[in-house]
Each structure stands twice: as structure tokens, then as C-alpha cells.
């Protein structure tokens, strides 16, 4: 006997979306995790790069969408969406769809006869017929090899900071040319830090902020999907994961790279006007010097800085989910990504992966909040055996009053 049909590990956007869809179809789903914990750890003052439509959790036009949140709460959400507003929205979704989320941490998942046994941080064991891993990207933070042994008070990843005002009056070198690096640089500069950015790329890719969609008018939906991942045309292909997964790798890989290459939101341009951005440069050596660091870039230029911050992104490797333990070795993987089939199911029957780990199999949209729309539906179809689309039409009876 299992304690639940499916255990969802993670209470961020993908975990909440999955639970909402599963429960609407009468599936007994238990969710474990601290709701929106990764998002709550991001730097204060951050703004979402994604469009309003693509920032909806579970669905963009249903009872859990951003528009429904605004109508239910009276919140006036500006664009781009402030991080704190998105976290508040996520908590509202959790309250509507998973009011009984179990905040205990899952420490171990192992196979158990025809299902799985989960051990929680208080030693409680829970049996589940299936497990959906929606544990996010925090364990995948990537840093250059030459910085990993530096003292953490001197060198950190952008994901490690909630309050960047602590760098006021200090010199900080930021490495990276994507959104997290550039926005962290802007926030520290605005807080009074002395900031410089170095990036390996020869140019910064600046997003257009919907400029072409506005020019296209009524034709925009033909070339741009509401998921808001990828440029014109490619946006529509990557918004259809069932189509993307059937394309040859020779087509998938350049398309995925074009859709998720490091880029900065257009609204950062003015905020970085007084921040030096050195392009085409990489770190050559880094060493401690006094109470700070001596950093030499590949052009031979040396800098003495108080802190080195890596905005060098994330590299998926499901073996870094510590709760999987030996189970991770049973999952067929390629370059750290699990190889997934229908329903986002791995080579271990009944074990599913949501979010960024599904990107290699189902495309770059899986890395984003809007990828949860598809993931929640296809997972629910796999669990229920349904072949038709599962849409947002109804809310479970026990949630009607809460959603009203």
C-alpha cells in the first residue's frame, strides 16, 4: 500500500503547477518542500525578465493565472514584475492549489517494491507509487574551476545573495554576460558598490522587450508563443515540446542555444550606463591578496577587488540532487540530464523530472516558469492514462471557495 499516488518533491512553480493539474483530475498528490524557497532567496529588488503572460504558474488563462491573482487580490502588478510580487503570487497559487503542502525536507528517495519510499528530515517514511522531482536548479549553480577553492567571503555565485546592499562601498568584479550577472551588477551599483563586469562573449545580447511583437500586432501570435522563450519563429517550435523532442539533435541543439543564450533585459541598459562592462575577457588567475583578491584576466590586466561574484549560470546534473542517492545512478542520463520519455518519465519507471532537468529531452521552455504549463499536463496524462488535453476548466471542489 502506498501513502500517496504521487509525491512531488519541490514547491516552486513547476511543483505547484504539477500538483494543481494532478489534483484537478482527482489524483492523490502530496507535495514536499518550502514554497517558492529558491525565488525567496534571490536578490531583493530583482525584476522578472519574462513577460507577464509567461510568468503565470500552471496556466496563463485559468484560475491560477496572474490575471486571476490580480482579480482575486486587487494587486496592481507592474511590468516588469518585481520579484517580491512574483513570490507573493506563487504563495497565493500554493494556497489555492496545495494548501496542505508538507514543508518537511525529503532526504532520501529509494525504490520500494512497486513504488518508492521517501525518507523525510524527521525520519518519517512515506510510500508513493510515483515520484515527480521538481526540485529546481539551486544544486546546479556553476562556477569556474579556478574559483571553487576560494574563501566564500571573497568569491560567491549570484544565487547566494538575497541582500546585495552589503557590498556598498566595496569593489566587486562580476563574471558573466547573462541576466543574473548584469542585474546583480546593476543592483550593487545602485547600492553604492564599485562594480565592473567581465564576460567571455564578444557582445551582450539584449532582449527586445516585446518590440517586434508590438510591431506585428495581430500577427504576433503566429510567430511568438505565450511561453515567451526564443526569438521569432523559434518561439513557436520550442513552445511545443512534443514536436521539439522529435526533431533531430542537429536541429534541436542550435535552436535551443538560440532560445536560451545568455542575454540581458533591455531595461538594464540605462542602469548599467556607469558600470564598466569588459567583453571578450575571461579569468586567467585568481589569488588572495590581503583581505581581498587579485584577479588577472586573459589580456594580462590585474585588478585588486574586495569580492568576485560569478553570474556563470547553472549546469544540470541530477546526481547533485542529494536525496536521490544511489537512485541517481539508475537514471539513464546524458551530460547530467535525465533521458525522458512520455510524461517526463525517466528510465526508472515511475520517476519523473520537471523543470530544467527535462530541457534536454523536451526543449528549452522547460527551464522557465511557462514550461510548467506543458509539464503539468503531460505528467497528469501519464499518471491518469488520459490521452486528451488536460486544461484548466475546473478547480477541485475543495478549492472552489478559496479561489472565489
Which cell is 179 given? 541576466
Say what the alpha-carbon torsion angle 348, 354, 357, 363 is, to the nearest 10 degrees. Answer: 110
What's the CATH code, domain 145-205+263-310?
A: 3.50.50.60
Q: Report the DSSP pairing between strands 4-9 and 29-32.
A: parallel
4-140+315-403 and 145-205+263-310: identical CATH topology: yes
**What are the residue ranges spanned by the domains of the chain?**
4-140+315-403, 145-205+263-310
Q: Find cell 529509494 and name the residue.
A: 110
pLDDT greater than 70 at residue 79? yes
| CATH topology for the 4-140+315-403 domain | FAD/NAD(P)-binding domain (3.50.50)
**pLDDT tens column, 24-61:** 999 999 999 999 999 999 999 999 999 888 999 999 89
- CA 72, 77, 80: angle at the middle one, nearest 5? 145
Quick check: helix, strand or coil at residue 286? strand
Quick check: helix, strand or coil at residue 310? strand
Q: Report the DSSP pairing between strands 125-133 and 351-353.
A: parallel
Instruction: Please give the Cα distance from 244 to 264 (Å, whole number).
Output: 25
Task: Name 221's Cβ contacts closer than 8 Å, sequence gap at least 6.
Answer: none
The model carries a pTM of: 0.92
**pLDDT tens column, 304-356:** 999 999 999 999 999 999 999 999 999 999 999 999 999 999 999 999 999 99
Instruction: Please give the Cα distance from 174 to 199 (Å, whole number).
Output: 8
Amino acid at each position: 500500500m502506498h501513502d500517496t499516488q504521487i509525491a512531488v518533491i519541490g514547491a516552486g512553480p513547476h511543483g505547484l503547477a504539477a500538483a494543481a493539474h494532478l489534483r484537478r483530475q482527482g489524483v492523490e498528490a502530496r507535495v514536499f518542500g518550502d514554497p517558492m524557497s529558491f525565488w525567496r532567496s534571490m536578490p531583493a529588488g530583482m525584476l522578472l525578465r519574462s513577460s507577464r503572460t509567461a510568468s503565470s504558474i500552471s496556466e496563463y488563462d485559468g484560475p491560477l493565472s496572474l490575471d486571476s491573482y490580480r482579480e482575486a487580490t486587487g494587486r496592481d502588478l507592474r511590468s516588469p514584475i518585481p520579484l517580491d510580487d512574483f513570490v507573493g503570487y506563487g504563495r497565493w497559487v500554493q494556497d489555492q492549489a496545495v494548501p496542505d503542502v508538507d514543508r518537511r525536507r525529503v532526504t532520501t528517495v529509494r525504490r520500494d517494491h512497486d513504488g518508492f519510499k521517501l525518507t523525510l528530515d524527521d525520519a518519517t517514511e512515506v510510500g508513493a507509487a510515483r515520484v515527480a522531482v521538481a526540485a529546481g536548479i539551486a544544486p546546479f549553480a556553476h562556477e569556474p574551476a579556478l574559483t571553487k577553492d576560494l574563501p566564500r567571503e571573497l568569491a560567491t555565485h549570484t544565487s547566494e545573495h538575497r541582500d546585495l546592499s552589503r557590498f556598498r562601498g566595496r569593489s566587486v568584479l562580476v563574471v558573466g554576460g547573462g541576466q543574473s550577472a548584469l542585474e546583480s551588477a546593476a543592483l550593487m551599483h545602485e547600492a553604492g558598490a564599485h562594480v565592473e563586469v567581465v564576460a567571455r562573449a564578444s557582445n551582450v545580447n539584449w532582449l527586445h522587450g516585446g518590440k517586434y511583437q508590438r510591431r506585428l500586432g495581430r500577427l504576433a501570435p503566429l510567430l511568438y508563443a505565450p511561453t515567451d522563450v526564443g526569438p521569432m519563429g523559434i518561439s513557436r517550435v520550442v513552445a511545443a515540446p512534443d514536436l521539439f523532442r522529435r526533431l533531430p539533435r542537429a536541429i534541436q541543439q542550435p535552436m535551443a542555444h538560440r532560445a536560451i543564450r545568455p542575454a540581458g533585459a533591455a531595461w538594464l541598459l540605462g542602469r548599467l550606463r556607469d558600470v564598466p562592462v569588459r567583453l571578450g575577457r575571461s579569468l586567467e588567475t585568481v589569488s588572495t591578496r590581503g583581505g581581498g583578491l587579485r584577479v588577472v584576466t586573459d589580456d594580462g590586466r590585474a585588478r585588486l577587488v574586495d569580492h568576485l561574484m560569478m553570474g556563470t549560470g547553472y549546469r544540470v546534473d541530477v546526481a547533485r540532487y542529494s536525496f536521490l542517492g544511489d537512485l541517481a545512478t539508475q537514471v539513464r542520463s546524458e551530460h547530467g540530464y535525465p533521458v525522458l520519455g512520455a510524461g517526463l518519465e525517466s528510465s526508472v519507471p515511475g520517476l519523473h523530472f520537471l523543470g530544467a532537468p527535462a530541457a534536454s529531452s523536451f526543449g528549452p521552455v522547460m527551464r522557465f516558469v511557462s514550461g510548467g504549463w506543458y509539464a503539468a499536463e503531460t505528467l497528469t496524462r501519464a499518471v491518469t492514462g488520459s490521452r486528451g488535453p488536460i486544461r484548466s476548466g475546473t478547480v477541485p471542489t475543495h478549492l472552489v471557495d478559496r479561489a472565489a
